[in-house]
Structure 1
Amino acid sequence: MTAASADKPRRSRPVRVADAIKDWVVERNLQKGDRLPSEAELMERFGMAKGTIREAMRILEAQGLIETRTGPGGGSFIGEVTADRAKALLANYFYFNELSVADIYQLRRVLEPELAASLAGKLSDDQLAALEAVVAQYPEPAKTAEEERDQHVASLAFHRRLANFSTNPLLAFVVSFMGRILTDLTVYRQLYDPPNPELYEKGLAYQTDLIAALRDGRAEDARAIMRAHMETAEALMQRQEAQVLRRFIAE
């Protein structure tokens, strides 16, 4: 046994069987709603006892990959992992990795300008109105830490909403997920206290200008506005992060 394999955590038998079932599903290109073999058939196919198969199926069900139905016509069927569930699982993973503001913005600075450019001139009136409705939630600077927190959350919702308009599902997922974890980071590290009027004023101006560029189909302007927005937001958020850290140390 090599040192690397010795350090690698041993995976339980049900976990290995769950992975084998997933591989089997992918190989056969099964789709949502397709029925899986019965428990007896799975036992025979994978050469495992009933208890192991049942535990493997519970793992897959917890992941949202299968659905179990009872009664006539019941059984196990291919499920669908929703975007929200996938983001929740990933958020749990990154929660223990001590992400920083810089980590998140390293990706935001690359992806979000391209997202904005790709959507210029392609959004419907309803989609543009939806973005304007988000901006309308923060018409003036926050007066309290609680208002600042709500404004941060709403401002990040603007970016998630924009991402969801993308026709590229991977780009939409990644940008939306970054908005989610930055929201979580802002809330549990209290990066909204004290209120930051400069972040508010510049963020509002960038988002307003961006909507105009998207409406007019000005792709290069949309890219430049979003890039400046990300660079400014990163600098101000890092300043806020440092201020919170200093306050924590002082306490």
Structure 2
Amino acid sequence: MATADEHAGAIRADIGAAEMAFRRSDWEHPAGRSRAEQAADHVARLAAAVPPGTRLGTKEDVRARCGVSVGTFNEALRLLQTRQVITVRPGPGGGLFVTSRAATARLGKSLLELDDGEAAVADAIRIRNTLDPLLIEDALWHASPADLAVLRDCLEPMAAAVASGDPAAFVHANWQLHAQIAAISPSQLLRTLYSSLLEMIERHTLSVLPAEGTSLPGYIEERYQLHADLVAALERRDAVETRRLIATHNTQG
């Protein structure tokens, strides 16, 4: 069995090989990329070459590899931590450590298993929830009979996912319903922004997991009913009820 020194040597060799393979032209991007972003890309490449939990070195060690100033490297660290690439641990034995390749973000009572874009997706979910009332207000006053028929059709795959107990299918069908609600808005800016947020969330979601202590089948059935009630309220042009339902939607997740 390999000793601790041999294991550390192997890690240093892996990092060294990654640095050798990482040509200067690979991380000196065209104009528009700051030195901090270039340094963050460099460290991200090193992190990708070793297992999660690996210690890349002290802050000073890694800064020296990047060849940037302390201020620039601190900015790069903020970028890397936001992107969930590295974790900084203080004290003896501390330094820069590679974070897990997958993470989870809470969406109401359900959990989305995400890739390394977790921080960006959490922001996208928060902004999406903020935009929901605006889109519901637009749908309330601008939805045509044909638009409402499309929304009713979107409820069918959600109901099927509830019946089969498939939370992943339910979440994707749910997003499709929201995309169709967004498409009703007369505001091109609002439609484009919302659809981009949904695309980001869907692109980085790996799977849907049950939250601890939660019955996910029961939860998606409850969520289906809320969305069915929302569509029905839109059909009735019931402003009070639609606003109440979307507030409940974003409070419960």
TM-score in terms of structure 2 length? 0.48
Structure having the higher strand fraction is: 2
